[in-house]
Structure 1
Amino acid sequence: MTEKRPRRPPSSTASAIAAQAEGFLLAREHRHDADREAQALCSALTWLTTAQAEDLTRHYVSHRIALSRRMLSATVNRADELRGEYEARYQQLRRDLLRRHAAWACGMVVCAAGVGGALCMWAR
Protein backbone atom coordinates (compact mmCIF):
# COMPACT_ATOMS: atom_id res chain seq x y z
CA MET A 1 0.00 0.00 0.00
CA THR A 2 1.16 3.46 -0.76
CA GLU A 3 0.69 6.17 1.70
CA LYS A 4 -1.12 9.23 0.36
CA ARG A 5 0.40 12.54 1.30
CA PRO A 6 -1.63 15.71 1.22
CA ARG A 7 -0.78 17.86 -1.76
CA ARG A 8 0.81 21.18 -0.99
CA PRO A 9 -0.40 24.18 -2.97
CA PRO A 10 2.14 25.87 -5.21
CA SER A 11 4.32 28.37 -3.42
CA SER A 12 2.76 31.32 -5.26
CA THR A 13 -0.68 30.23 -4.10
CA ALA A 14 0.56 29.67 -0.56
CA SER A 15 2.21 33.10 -0.44
CA ALA A 16 -0.94 34.72 -1.82
CA ILE A 17 -3.03 33.01 0.84
CA ALA A 18 -0.55 34.07 3.54
CA ALA A 19 -0.61 37.66 2.29
CA GLN A 20 -4.40 37.66 2.26
CA ALA A 21 -4.55 36.26 5.79
CA GLU A 22 -2.04 38.83 6.98
CA GLY A 23 -4.10 41.61 5.41
CA PHE A 24 -7.26 40.29 7.05
CA LEU A 25 -5.60 40.18 10.47
CA LEU A 26 -4.18 43.65 10.01
CA ALA A 27 -7.61 45.02 9.04
CA ARG A 28 -9.17 43.39 12.12
CA GLU A 29 -6.50 44.95 14.31
CA HIS A 30 -7.19 48.41 12.84
CA ARG A 31 -10.91 48.00 13.43
CA HIS A 32 -10.31 46.78 17.00
CA ASP A 33 -8.04 49.77 17.68
CA ALA A 34 -10.64 52.16 16.28
CA ASP A 35 -13.37 50.58 18.44
CA ARG A 36 -11.18 50.83 21.53
CA GLU A 37 -10.36 54.50 20.84
CA ALA A 38 -14.02 55.34 20.20
CA GLN A 39 -15.07 53.66 23.45
CA ALA A 40 -12.38 55.58 25.34
CA LEU A 41 -13.64 58.82 23.79
CA CYS A 42 -17.25 58.00 24.67
CA SER A 43 -16.33 57.10 28.23
CA ALA A 44 -14.65 60.50 28.62
CA LEU A 45 -17.86 62.19 27.45
CA THR A 46 -20.06 61.12 30.36
CA TRP A 47 -23.01 63.26 29.27
CA LEU A 48 -23.62 61.17 26.09
CA THR A 49 -26.62 58.89 26.05
CA THR A 50 -26.16 55.26 25.02
CA ALA A 51 -27.60 55.91 21.55
CA GLN A 52 -25.36 58.95 21.09
CA ALA A 53 -22.32 56.99 22.23
CA GLU A 54 -23.12 54.18 19.77
CA ASP A 55 -23.63 56.71 16.97
CA LEU A 56 -20.37 58.48 17.80
CA THR A 57 -18.55 55.13 17.93
CA ARG A 58 -19.94 54.11 14.55
CA HIS A 59 -18.94 57.42 12.94
CA TYR A 60 -15.50 57.41 14.55
CA VAL A 61 -14.79 53.86 13.39
CA SER A 62 -15.94 54.55 9.82
CA HIS A 63 -13.82 57.72 9.62
CA ARG A 64 -10.81 55.99 11.12
CA ILE A 65 -11.07 53.08 8.66
CA ALA A 66 -11.43 55.52 5.74
CA LEU A 67 -8.34 57.36 6.96
CA SER A 68 -6.40 54.10 7.26
CA ARG A 69 -7.43 53.16 3.70
CA ARG A 70 -6.30 56.52 2.35
CA MET A 71 -2.98 56.29 4.17
CA LEU A 72 -2.41 52.72 2.99
CA SER A 73 -3.33 53.65 -0.57
CA ALA A 74 -0.91 56.59 -0.51
CA THR A 75 1.83 54.34 0.86
CA VAL A 76 1.23 51.72 -1.83
CA ASN A 77 1.24 54.39 -4.56
CA ARG A 78 4.50 55.85 -3.25
CA ALA A 79 6.04 52.38 -3.06
CA ASP A 80 5.07 51.80 -6.70
CA GLU A 81 6.62 55.14 -7.68
CA LEU A 82 9.83 54.32 -5.83
CA ARG A 83 9.94 50.86 -7.38
CA GLY A 84 9.69 52.42 -10.84
CA GLU A 85 12.41 54.95 -10.05
CA TYR A 86 14.73 52.32 -8.61
CA GLU A 87 14.15 49.95 -11.52
CA ALA A 88 14.89 52.72 -14.03
CA ARG A 89 18.07 53.66 -12.16
CA TYR A 90 19.12 50.01 -11.94
CA GLN A 91 18.63 49.55 -15.69
CA GLN A 92 20.69 52.70 -16.37
CA LEU A 93 23.50 51.50 -14.11
CA ARG A 94 23.39 48.09 -15.74
CA ARG A 95 23.66 49.61 -19.23
CA ASP A 96 26.58 51.79 -18.12
CA LEU A 97 28.36 48.81 -16.61
CA LEU A 98 27.83 46.78 -19.79
CA ARG A 99 29.26 49.63 -21.90
CA ARG A 100 32.30 49.89 -19.63
CA HIS A 101 32.92 46.16 -19.77
CA ALA A 102 32.55 46.18 -23.56
CA ALA A 103 35.01 49.09 -23.81
CA TRP A 104 37.51 47.29 -21.57
CA ALA A 105 37.09 44.07 -23.56
CA CYS A 106 37.66 45.94 -26.84
CA GLY A 107 40.70 47.63 -25.32
CA MET A 108 42.10 44.30 -24.19
CA VAL A 109 41.56 42.81 -27.68
CA VAL A 110 43.30 45.80 -29.28
CA CYS A 111 46.20 45.53 -26.83
CA ALA A 112 46.49 41.79 -27.37
CA ALA A 113 46.44 42.28 -31.15
CA GLY A 114 49.07 45.02 -30.88
CA VAL A 115 51.32 42.91 -28.67
CA GLY A 116 50.84 39.93 -30.98
CA GLY A 117 51.61 42.03 -34.04
CA ALA A 118 54.69 43.53 -32.36
CA LEU A 119 55.94 40.08 -31.42
CA CYS A 120 55.42 38.82 -34.97
CA MET A 121 57.33 41.83 -36.35
CA TRP A 122 60.13 41.35 -33.83
CA ALA A 123 60.36 37.62 -34.50
CA ARG A 124 61.03 38.21 -38.23
Structure 2
Amino acid sequence: MQLDPERALNEIEGFLLWEAEKDRARTRAQEFCDGLPWLTDSQRWEVEVRYCQDQRDASRAYLERIAVRSAALRTEYDGVYRALRRRLITAVLSGSVAVVALFAVTAFGLAVR
Protein backbone atom coordinates (compact mmCIF):
# COMPACT_ATOMS: atom_id res chain seq x y z
CA MET A 1 0.00 0.00 0.00
CA GLN A 2 1.44 3.32 -1.08
CA LEU A 3 1.09 6.29 1.23
CA ASP A 4 -0.07 9.55 -0.35
CA PRO A 5 2.53 12.18 0.66
CA GLU A 6 0.03 15.04 0.54
CA ARG A 7 -2.40 13.19 2.80
CA ALA A 8 0.43 12.25 5.18
CA LEU A 9 1.52 15.90 5.38
CA ASN A 10 -2.07 16.98 6.04
CA GLU A 11 -2.36 14.45 8.86
CA ILE A 12 0.94 15.55 10.39
CA GLU A 13 -0.07 19.19 10.11
CA GLY A 14 -3.44 18.42 11.70
CA PHE A 15 -1.78 16.55 14.54
CA LEU A 16 0.68 19.40 15.19
CA LEU A 17 -2.08 22.01 15.05
CA TRP A 18 -4.20 20.04 17.51
CA GLU A 19 -1.24 19.62 19.88
CA ALA A 20 -0.63 23.38 19.68
CA GLU A 21 -4.31 23.94 20.46
CA LYS A 22 -4.07 21.69 23.52
CA ASP A 23 -0.97 23.59 24.68
CA ARG A 24 -2.79 26.88 24.18
CA ALA A 25 -5.71 25.58 26.27
CA ARG A 26 -3.31 24.49 29.02
CA THR A 27 -1.61 27.88 29.03
CA ARG A 28 -4.95 29.70 29.16
CA ALA A 29 -6.11 27.46 32.00
CA GLN A 30 -2.95 28.19 33.98
CA GLU A 31 -3.33 31.93 33.35
CA PHE A 32 -6.97 31.72 34.41
CA CYS A 33 -6.03 29.95 37.63
CA ASP A 34 -3.25 32.47 38.30
CA GLY A 35 -6.03 35.03 38.72
CA LEU A 36 -7.58 32.85 41.44
CA PRO A 37 -4.82 32.72 44.06
CA TRP A 38 -7.11 31.36 46.80
CA LEU A 39 -7.50 27.97 45.07
CA THR A 40 -5.87 25.01 46.76
CA ASP A 41 -3.56 22.86 44.64
CA SER A 42 -6.23 20.23 44.10
CA GLN A 43 -8.85 22.86 43.25
CA ARG A 44 -6.43 24.53 40.87
CA TRP A 45 -5.72 21.20 39.19
CA GLU A 46 -9.43 20.47 38.77
CA VAL A 47 -10.18 23.93 37.40
CA GLU A 48 -7.29 23.60 34.91
CA VAL A 49 -8.49 20.17 33.79
CA ARG A 50 -12.08 21.35 33.31
CA TYR A 51 -10.96 24.57 31.62
CA CYS A 52 -8.73 22.60 29.22
CA GLN A 53 -11.53 20.17 28.40
CA ASP A 54 -13.97 23.02 27.80
CA GLN A 55 -11.46 24.77 25.53
CA ARG A 56 -10.78 21.55 23.59
CA ASP A 57 -14.50 20.88 23.17
CA ALA A 58 -15.06 24.44 21.93
CA SER A 59 -12.07 24.19 19.57
CA ARG A 60 -13.22 20.84 18.21
CA ALA A 61 -16.73 22.18 17.56
CA TYR A 62 -15.27 25.27 15.89
CA LEU A 63 -12.97 23.18 13.68
CA GLU A 64 -15.84 20.89 12.71
CA ARG A 65 -17.93 23.91 11.68
CA ILE A 66 -15.00 25.22 9.64
CA ALA A 67 -14.54 21.83 7.95
CA VAL A 68 -18.23 21.67 6.98
CA ARG A 69 -18.16 25.24 5.67
CA SER A 70 -14.93 24.58 3.80
CA ALA A 71 -16.44 21.54 2.08
CA ALA A 72 -19.53 23.56 1.14
CA LEU A 73 -17.40 26.37 -0.29
CA ARG A 74 -15.27 23.90 -2.23
CA THR A 75 -18.39 22.38 -3.79
CA GLU A 76 -19.76 25.84 -4.60
CA TYR A 77 -16.46 27.07 -6.08
CA ASP A 78 -16.04 23.87 -8.11
CA GLY A 79 -19.47 24.48 -9.65
CA VAL A 80 -18.65 28.10 -10.42
CA TYR A 81 -15.30 27.06 -11.92
CA ARG A 82 -16.95 24.49 -14.17
CA ALA A 83 -19.53 27.05 -15.34
CA LEU A 84 -16.83 29.62 -16.08
CA ARG A 85 -14.76 27.03 -17.91
CA ARG A 86 -17.77 26.07 -20.06
CA ARG A 87 -18.39 29.74 -20.87
CA LEU A 88 -14.75 30.30 -21.79
CA ILE A 89 -14.65 27.22 -24.02
CA THR A 90 -17.92 28.29 -25.66
CA ALA A 91 -16.55 31.81 -26.24
CA VAL A 92 -13.27 30.50 -27.69
CA LEU A 93 -15.07 28.06 -29.97
CA SER A 94 -17.57 30.72 -31.08
CA GLY A 95 -14.75 33.15 -31.75
CA SER A 96 -12.84 30.52 -33.70
CA VAL A 97 -15.90 29.68 -35.79
CA ALA A 98 -16.46 33.39 -36.46
CA VAL A 99 -12.83 33.87 -37.55
CA VAL A 100 -12.94 30.79 -39.80
CA ALA A 101 -16.24 31.99 -41.29
CA LEU A 102 -14.76 35.44 -41.88
CA PHE A 103 -11.73 33.97 -43.61
CA ALA A 104 -13.94 31.66 -45.68
CA VAL A 105 -16.18 34.52 -46.78
CA THR A 106 -13.14 36.68 -47.58
CA ALA A 107 -11.43 33.87 -49.49
CA PHE A 108 -14.63 33.08 -51.37
CA GLY A 109 -15.11 36.78 -52.19
CA LEU A 110 -11.55 37.06 -53.49
CA ALA A 111 -11.89 33.86 -55.53
CA VAL A 112 -15.10 35.04 -57.23
CA ARG A 113 -13.53 38.30 -58.50
Q: Quick one: which of 46, 60, 81 aligns to 2:51?
A: 60
Query: Secondary structure in 1 aligned to 2:4?
Result: helix
State yes or no: 1:16 paired with 2:7: yes
Question: Within 5 A, what are the aligned runs for 1:27-66?
Answer: 27-66=18-57
TM-score by length of 2: 0.85
Q: Counterpart of 2:75?
A: 84
Q: Which of these two proteins has the greater Rg computed from alpha carbons? A: 1
Q: In 1, distance between residues paired with 2:82 and 2:9?
A: 31
The one-letter code sitting in structure 2 at the alignment partner of 1:34 is A
Residue-by-residue CA offset, 1:61-116 (whole Å, 9 max, x unaligned):
11100111111112222222222222111111111111111211221222122122
Identity %: 27
TM-score by length of 1: 0.79
Point out which structure has higher relative CO (alpha carbons under 8 A, 6+ apart): 2
- Rate the CA distance shift 1:18–1:56 in 2: closer, same or farther, 3 A: same
1:18 is displaced (CA, Å) by 2.4
1:14 is displaced (CA, Å) by 2.8
Moved more, 15-24 or 90-99: 15-24
The one-letter code sitting in structure 2 at the alignment partner of 1:67 is A
Q: Counterpart of 2:85?
A: 94
The one-letter code sitting in structure 2 at the alignment partner of 1:83 is R
Q: In 1, distance between residues paired with 2:82 and 2:24?
A: 43
CA RMSD across the alignment: 1.9
Unmatched segments (≥5 aa) in structure 2: none
- Give the paired residue count: 113
